[in-house]
Amino acid sequence: MTTLNSHNIPRHVAIIMDGNGRWARQKGFGRVFGHEKGAETVRDVVTASREIGVRWLTLYAFSEENWKRPQHEIQALMKLLRRFLKRELDEMQENGIKLNTIGRIEKLPAATQEILLHTIQKTRENQDMVLTLALSYGGRQEIIDAVQAIARKVANHELDSSDITETLISNALYTQGMPDPDFLIRTSGEYRISNFLLWQLSYTELYITPTLWPDFTKAEYLRAISEYQHRERRFGSTGTGQ
Ligand code: IPE
Ligand code: IPE
Ligand code: MG
């Protein structure tokens, strides 16, 4: 068992949940089966995060670029999401988990938007952890939306260009009000960000594991958090004792 320092739990963990398709293919199944197994991992990681005291958990569930996938896979993912939300509502209520989303939610099928909004509404008073699902999310699209909103304000003389600061930009992003991630996990061994949280990850600690998402266990998650606890975050300063 991994022992964690309860005083150094990352406040915000973000995860690129990758490798469902390969996991299924390796076992001779269709990709959708991998997504189904992946949904079980989501549940385990949400529960573990809540147990160890992570306050913000952000999961990359569907990227803007994932719309390029075959229709049947997209439909299966949307259906799985609806099923997940229905099934997990009671658990979220019992554990004080508040649901949030980032991304161009308006692009999702109406039935998916409906259950998302319903779950957000039902869980809005929960205080223990914020679970954010990145859906139809792209970091560049988020920056475009923010720049457009800011440009409109400048054009309307509500804002001067000299008012544009780091804080102002952060507050114009989908993640307004959320702290930047302390720790980013990517499964399936790809060394890339894939358009996730481009602005917010500037000083995030990265952890990449070859494990495919359906095989990612609570034990590995806790080991990853333990590794985070041994990192020295310098934010551009000199290290301690130097
Ligand atoms: C991650 O698994 C889930 C989504 C992107 C929705 P993938 O479906 O990308 O699985 P691989 O990377 O093809 O194995
Ligand atoms: C990133 O995985 C998106 C999600 C996990 C939702 P992808 O499988 O889409 O990323 P690439 O194509 O390997 O970069
Ligand atoms: Mg992938």
* Residues 97 and 45 sit within 8 Å (Cβ to Cβ): no
CATH number among 3.40.47.10, 3.30.1600.10, 3.40.1180.10, 3.30.2130.30, domain 12-138+182-229: 3.40.1180.10
Could you tell me the pLDDT band of residue 239, with boundaries at 50, 70 and 90?
confident
Pocket test for ligand 1, best of 17, 20, 45 (most atoms within 8 A of CB): 20
Is residue 137 in contact with ligand 2, taking CB distance under 6 Å? Answer: no
Over residues 151-178, the mean pLDDT reads: 98
Name the residue at shortest CA distance from atom 8 of ligand 2.
18
Could you tell me the pLDDT band of residue 228, with boundaries at 50, 70 and 90?
very high
- 154 CB contacts (<8 Å, ≥6 apart)? 160, 161
Could you tell me the pLDDT band of residue 242, with boundaries at 50, 70 and 90?
low
Q: What pLDDT is attached to residue 218?
A: 98
Ligand 2: atom nearest CA of 66 is 9
Q: What pLDDT is attached to residue 110?
A: 98
Mean pLDDT of the chain: 97
End-to-end CA distance of the chain: 34
Provide the 10 A C-beta neighbour count for residue 143. Answer: 15
Point out the ligand nearest to the CA of residue 14.
Answer: 2
Over residues 19-39, the mean pLDDT reads: 98
**Segments in the chain forming alpha helices (H):** 20-26, 31-52, 71-94, 110-122, 139-155, 166-172, 218-229
Point out the ligand nearest to the CA of residue 63.
Answer: 2
Over residues 79-97, the mean pLDDT reads: 98
Q: What pLDDT is attached to residue 219?
A: 98
Please give the single-letter amino acid code of residue 215.
D
Over residues 3-26, the mean pLDDT reads: 98
Q: What pLDDT is attached to residue 71?
A: 98
Q: Where are the chain's structural domains?
A: 12-138+182-229
Q: What pLDDT is attached to residue 1?
A: 80
Q: What pLDDT is attached to residue 241?
A: 67
Counting residues of the chain whose pLDDT is more than 90, the rounded percentage is 98
Asked if pLDDT for residue 102 goes beyond 70, the answer is yes
From 66, 95, 126, 195, the catalytic residue: 66
- Per-residue model confidence as pLDDT tens digits over 111-153: 999 999 999 999 999 999 999 999 999 999 999 999 999 999 9
Name the residue at shortest CA distance from atom 12 of ligand 1.
19
Ligand 2: atom nearest CA of 194 is 14
Q: Residue 110 C-alpha to ligand 1 middle, in angstroms?
A: 23
Nearest to 199 by CA among 226, 179, 214: 179
Is residue 17 in contact with ligand 2, taking CB distance under 6 Å? Answer: yes
Annotation says 18 is catalytic: yes
Is residue 16 in contact with ligand 2, taking CB distance under 6 Å? Answer: yes
From 5, 8, 18, 44, the catalytic residue: 18
pTM over cut 0.95: yes
Point out the ligand nearest to the CA of residue 190.
Answer: 2
Ligand 2: atom nearest CA of 62 is 6
